[in-house]
Each structure stands twice: as C-alpha cells, then as structure tokens.
Chains A and B, each alone.
Chain A
Amino acid sequence: MSLFADPRWGEALSHLADYLGNHVRVSLAALALGLVVSLPLAILTRNRPAPRAILLALASIVQTVPGLALLALFYPLLLLAASVTLAWFGASFSAFGFLPAMLALALYSMLPVLRNGITGLNGIDPALIEAAKGVGMTPQQSLVMVELPLALPVMMAGIRTAAVWVIGTATLSTPIGQTSLGNYIFAGLQTQNWVFVLFGCFASALLALAVDQLLGLIEGGLRRRSRLRTGLGAVGIAALVAATLVPTMGRSSQSYVVGAKTFAEQYVLSALLRDRLQAAGLSATSRSGLGSSVIFEALKAGDIDLYVDYSGTLWANQLHRTDIKPRAELLAELKTALAKENITLLGELGFENAYALVMPKKRAEALGIHSIADLAAHASTMSIAGDYEFFSRPEWAALQKAYGLSFHAQRQMQPDFMYAAVASGEVDAIAGYTSDGLIAKYDLVALDDPRHAIPPYDAILLLAPKRAGDERLQAALKPLLGKIDIATMREANLRASGNDANSSPDAVARWLWEKVGKR
C-alpha cells in the first residue's frame, strides 16, 4: 500500500483548518505582543548599559526554561490571577488554552527581538548619529529617520528568528489546552500514529517557513523602500490570519467539550463520549492531549465539560490522601469531596486502570515471581522503568514501603515505549497500567499486589460544575456506565496501539461502542 493511500492522511487533513487556524492565531498574537513589549524596551535601553544588561539577562533566563515547562507554568499562574480578579472585581477569565499559551510564547519571543534590537541600534556608526544631530534632527527624529532604518535588517532578523521559535514552540501548547498543530504530534505519539506525527511536524515547519518568508518580504520592502514588497508581505500575513478565522466563524460556542489526557485510552474514551453526545443530538467536540494537572482545573473552571479520570489519581492529587481505602469506600468519599466543588461524579465505566508492576511472563515464571513480594527478593539486581510521574507519586513510595522494594536502577520513559523495553529485556520490570492492551500483546504479566499498596483506579466520568443539572447530557452518558470491563478496554487499547487506519481513536471508539452498546 502506498504511503499516501493511508486513510489517516485524510483524517489528519480534516483537522487541519482547526489546528492550523488556532496555531496561527496564538503564534501571531504572541509574536505581536512580544514585539510590542520588546521593541520599546530595546529602544529605551539602547544607551543605558546597566538596564540593558539586566533585561538581556532576564530574557536569557526565560529562554533557558524549556518551552513545555514555561507553558505549563503559565497555567497555574493565570489560574491564581483569575481567582484574584474574581474575588476583587467579581469577573474572571479563562486561564486555559489561548491566554497562557500566548503569554508564555510572547515571553519566549522576547530574547531574539530584544537582543537583535539592541545589537542593531548599538551597531550604528556613531559618526552617523552625530551627523543626524549635526543636520538638526531632534533625538526622536534621529531615532525614526536614521537609527531605526539602519538597525532594521538586524532587528528584522531577530523578529524572524522569534517567529520561527514561536511557531515551533506553539506545538507544545496542546497540554495546556491550546489547540495547535501540536495536537497532531501529541495524539500521534500517544496512539503510535506516525502519520499524525509527520503531518504535524511538516505542517508546523511549512508554517514557520511561510511566515519567515513573508517577514523577509516585509524586511526587503522596508529596506528598499518598496511599498509593493512591504504591502505584499503585510497582505500575506493578514491573509494568513483571515484564512484561519473563516472556518471557526460558524462554530457554536454552546457545544460540549470532552477533555482527554495525553494517552491512548483517554483519546479513545473522549472520542466515545463525543460520539455518544452527538448521537443524542448534542453538539460536541473533543479537546485532547491535556496535561494531567491541567485537565482537572479546566473541568473545575468549565473550560471543558466532561472527561474520564481515575479514582486513585484524584484521591492522591486532588484530595492529597496517602491512605488507601477499599474500592467502594474510596469512591464514595471521593464523590462527596468532588460534590463540594460542584463537580459531578456521574459513575464508573466499569474497568480499572491502575498502576501495576509488569514483567515478561516467561521470566516471571522462571524466577518463580507471582507477586510484588516475590519480586522484592530480586529487585536489588534489577532495573525498573516508569512513566514521567510514577516515581514521584505516592503509590511508588507506598510500594517501596510495603514490600521493601529497592531496584538497582530506575528510568523514566514515554509510556508507549515501556512495554517494548521490558519485553526486549532493556529493563527488568515496568510500572505499567492494568488496562493496557500491550500487556497481552508482549506476553507480559501484571504482578499481584497482596498488601494493597496501590489504591483502586476506577475509571470515572466527571462533569463540570456548570453541567451539574444537565439532564440531556447525563441521559446521553448513562448507557456507558458500568459497561466497559477490563478485557474490553484492554482490547480497545491494543487496537489503538496499532499503526494502521483502524487504530485511530475515532475508529477504536466506534469499535468499542459496537462492543458495549448492546450490553
């Protein structure tokens, strides 16, 4: 089959208007804000070495913060600001998506603009500044007629660098709720859909190139005093923005937004929930690839309307509990606690996605390992891998304490690669997920937890405060409750981990509904 005959290209293309439009808008808004702040600062500090040094140092520090971390930092910051404005002025704003992404990206764009602006202005031959003064220019006239035009090529180079950086970094704004071309990359990475990953990379690279060339056109026009070139470049940028606005005009703001975290099971479940709502005649969209800490806050703030979380996760992260209770008790207590925040725990889907220590079945049998207690005896010569959060979670501390576990080495991995790594013997054990289809695929075994160190992780359906009394919504979702058993979810997850057209979250969600809908 030819590479381009793959139907996933078509699916990718169907999202393009939405993803690209959001990407262009957030990038250009960030760039514009960055310029509005940085250029005056560069001009003001051009003859003041001390503030200039401080400014450049600050901008450099911002640049050393990884893009993903900077974006992630802005979410809680804005959340705090939103709660303050709510308390003081009675009005609030959404700390989700566009605003944090734009602010973080604007900050990110400042270094090249500032540095090149200052370098450009300071690099002007002092004799020319003296000549400007000598022919009778005021300082402002000298700036506008001589210094800025002469610094322009260097300044524009900085602006173009910033544009490319911002467009590239904007792909990382997906986890804080800003739709971008990064949605392809995050979704593709999580569901092993390389078509999506490639599509996202190419689209953002092409966008960066196009914007860079348009800015180049403006630069050339300004330098050669050609109104035609400047105009063409400006029209090009404006057309890009306008083109991205058109497809989103008609979108209803009344639609339900289904959230999903950054792994395959979540992509499948959010597609399933969206399909159910649409089947019930409700307008629904999914917002995928949200960070684990962002998604709950987004629900609380009403930026998303519903999503699936896991009881143990909320128990530890939201209630900050470290004790472990039996399944039903934990759920009941969680429901009461969430109700206090007006969040509806509609019910369980029927399966659990708990952490479990996983190793190859054959090796476990050979070593006589059936439970984590058996593993503990061998741990000192073994290595273990977990996802990015596992080793800092209370479950890991509880496991270590309950079984006296001490591994020779521990590594963090992208969840989708862990299973292959343990199957190939690269690591001896992993902290996997009980609902993961790869456990069966790679012939692995999830070890028993006889001391109940790991809390229950029932998949639960949560509704935003503003949807608390929404009968139609609840009626549309009720048929799913208790219907999805662990075996079915594992099979669905296994399908989603495939690398063909039937493995897209949408296709797997349809398969899942066919399987559980008649139950």
Chain B
Amino acid sequence: MIGYTHVTKRFGPLKAVDDVSLDIAEGEFVAIVGGSGSGKTTLLRLANRLIEANGGSITVEGEDVRSVDPVALRRRIGYVFQSGGLFPHLSVADNIGITPKLLGVAAADIAARVGELLDLVQLDGTAHRDRLPEALSGGQRQRVGVARALAAKPRIVLMDEPFGALDPLTRDALGDDYRSLHRKLGLTTVMITHDMTEAILLADRIAVMRGGKMLAQGTPAELSKSSEAYVLELLRTPRRQVERLNALLPQSGSV
C-alpha cells in the first residue's frame, strides 16, 4: 500500500531522512519507532506530501505520490495528529465531517456519517457532537481525532504519536480500541511512536529509525535478531520496566 524506495529528505544541511526504504502491505499495522530527531515524523509526513522528498520515490496504492494532486492525496489518507489537531472553533461534528465536506458530500450524509463515526470511536453522540473541543477530555479529543481521520473512509491511516500525551489508562484503552478498528475496517495503518512497548502491543511490524536512517524493520521476533545494539537496547526496555515494576510492586504478583 505504501512504498518508500531510497527516500531522502534534507532540511538545509541536515538529512532528516537518509536513504530509507520501507514497504507497507495492505492491512498491515506498522509502527515507526525512534527518539526525537530520528526522522520518524518526517518519514510519515512524506507519505501524504505534507512535505516533499529530495530523493528516492514514494508510492501510495501503487501510484507515485508526485503524480497525484497533493490535496486529493491528503483527502484519501486519514491522518491523526499529535494531541488531536482539532480545530478549536468547530464543533465535534464539524471537525469530524471536515474532509467529507471538502469532498462535497451532502450535509445530511455527513451528519449520518458523523453519527456512525462517534459510535465507532465509542463517544456518546448526543452528548458530544455539538461541543467544542475545549469541552472534551484529552482521550475524548483523540477519539474525535481518530473519527475525523476515518470520516472519508480512507484505506490508509497515518498516526503521529496519537496517544503520546494521554494518561496511561486512557492510552491503553484507546490503543486497544484503535487496534480493533484497524482490523474491523481493514485499514493499513502507519503509527509513529517513541514508545517501544506501545509499538509491540499494537503493531504487526516495527521499523526502528535513528539519525534519519532505517536501522531495522520486522516483527518483534525478527527485530530481536538484529545486529544493531540500539535496536536490541530498545527491545529490552519494556521487559526491564516489567522487571523493575515487579520488584517495586511485589504484592501484585505480576503486572
């Protein structure tokens, strides 16, 4: 569904993405993991041409993105922004319905679609649809963000650290809910995260980036065979956390 071939993106002298190749199959859930400045967000934004590559080629659903009108491309790819990116002056319903509206869908059809989407992301439609984003909790906002990304029935969803700013309970619930949506709707999802635990729990396949380079990609099992010390270190982190938690919380038995 998405193919990166020897892609390079420079910001001045800095190579934010350096000769990266990555193929994402239909229906796959891929997490791109890396620290800040690793180039993971840049890689994601190249897919719907929020930024343009300097070298290499990118295909989406078999088409070279450079041959597609960027606005049309973005309308058919769902995008979930870090901390929501909801428009503060628009109601929940208007935020969710924005892409269908841009596509010229009739108002009544948009209203019906908004209702479906609110159910899908498990928000109470009657209570929430006319509220402004400021009246929602962080978790609710991100659910609206997911609903907005799905509004125009995209086959691909890009997510930029979607759950990063949420409290752990909300984060777990939202991650699980999204994972089931991904399956139910047959989506192809690319998610950016700095959290390896989240990546392992949600994604089918993980790509690890550092300093603009793709260090390794594969299932968690495949990654554990990597020769890169950084990749192994990242993979060890979740287990080490569990061990420390077990030591600190002996009465709970296991976490």
Contact = CB atoms under 8 A, between A and B. Distances in A.
Interface stretch (B29-37, B74-82, B190-198, B224-232): B74-82
Contact of B74 (A128, A135, A149, A223): A135
Contacts, number: 52
A145 B74 CA distance: 17
Contact of A134 (B72, B74, B83): B74
Contact of A133 (B50, B87, B152): B50
Contact of B88 (A130, A136, A137, A150): A150
A141 interface: yes
B89 interface: yes
B14 interface: no
B85 interface: yes
27 contacts: A127-B81, A127-B82, A127-B83, A128-B87, A128-B88, A130-B50, A130-B81, A130-B85, A131-B85, A131-B87, A132-B87, A133-B74, A134-B50, A134-B74, A134-B79, A134-B85, A135-B74, A135-B79, A136-B71, A136-B74, A136-B99, A136-B102, A136-B152, A145-B87, A150-B87, A150-B88, A150-B89
Contact of B48 (A134, A149, A223): A134
Interface residues of B, number: 21
Interface of A: 127-128, 130-138, 141, 145-146, 149-150, 223
A117 to B, nearest CB: 17
A128 B81 CA distance: 9
B148 interface: yes
A225 B87 CA distance: 14
B118 interface: no
A136 B75 CA distance: 5
Contact of A128 (B48, B85, B98, B148): B85
A146 B72 CA distance: 19
Nearest to B86: A131
Interface in B34-56: 48, 50
B43 to A, nearest CB: 15
Given A128-B85, A128-B87, A149-B89, A135 B50 contact: no
Interface string B118-150: 000000000000000000000000000000100
Contacts of A130: 50, 81, 85
A128 B89 CA distance: 11
Given A133-B50, A134-B79, A136-B99, A127 B74 contact: no
A127 B85 contact: yes
Contacts of A145: 87, 98
Contacts of B98: 135, 137, 145
A124 B96 CA distance: 21
Interface string B151-182: 01000000000000000000000000000000
A-B residue pairs, 3 tightest by C-beta: A136-B75, A131-B85, A134-B79
Interface string B98-121: 110011000000000000000000
Contact of A135 (B82, B83, B89, B148): B148
A298 B31 CA distance: 78
